[in-house]
Amino acid sequence: LAILAFENHSGDARYDAMGVGLQDMLVTDLGHVEALQLVERAKLSAVLSELDLASTPYADPTAAVEVGKVVSAQWVVTGGLMAVEPTLRLDARVVDVQTGAILATSEASGPTDEFFLLEKELANELLVALDVTVSARASARIGRVQTESFAAFVSYADGLAALDAGEVRRAAEALAKALQAD
């Protein structure tokens, strides 16, 4: 399973890096499930750059299929986020790499200050959509919220986006800001 960065559909640049942060959180949460083998986020970033797809909308099933084939994934998760304060909506689609068909869709929406719970809800909905059995231990790990600081998450996501862009100094500053906020 490959999870691509979520696209910001809000029109608000403050949410641009959140798609990378959300991708990272989903990789971590779904990585607890023994039945799934996930492609590392950094590997996907490198493949997107190599294929010159970094600026292509990830929601495009054709791009998702191309990336999925290169990383030998069976499924690719694409998605987007929409923020209209105070509400945040997260949408995800599971694309079958072999056929290009969208197999399932999932969404979670609620107050922005409940972002971490929305991410957990989305992760669980994806597991149901993929018809994956989850052990009690994995379920508990997925349900664990590591932070409740939205400001820390936004800074963390900014740091990941800066790392992906090769901007190490900016990444270090953003990650330090995340630690300070949390």
Distance CA 138, CA 114 (A): 22
| pLDDT at residue 147, rounded to an integer | 79
Q: Tens of pLDDT along 50-93?
A: 776 555 555 566 778 888 888 889 999 999 999 888 899 999 99
Question: Has residue 151 got a pLDDT over 70?
Answer: yes
| pLDDT at residue 173, rounded to an integer | 97
| DSSP class of 133 | -
Q: Tens of pLDDT along 118-134?
A: 999 999 999 998 999 99
Q: Tens of pLDDT along 5-51?
A: 999 999 888 888 999 999 999 999 999 999 999 998 777 777 776 77
82 neighbors 64 (Cβ within 8 angstroms): no
Q: Which of 15, 69, 79 is nearest to 47 (CA)?
A: 69
Distance CA 14, CA 34 (A): 35
Q: Which of 8, 4, 27 is nearest to 17 (CA)?
A: 8
DSSP-based helix, strand, coil % in the chain, nearest 5: 50, 20, 30
Question: Has residue 101 got a pLDDT over 80?
Answer: yes
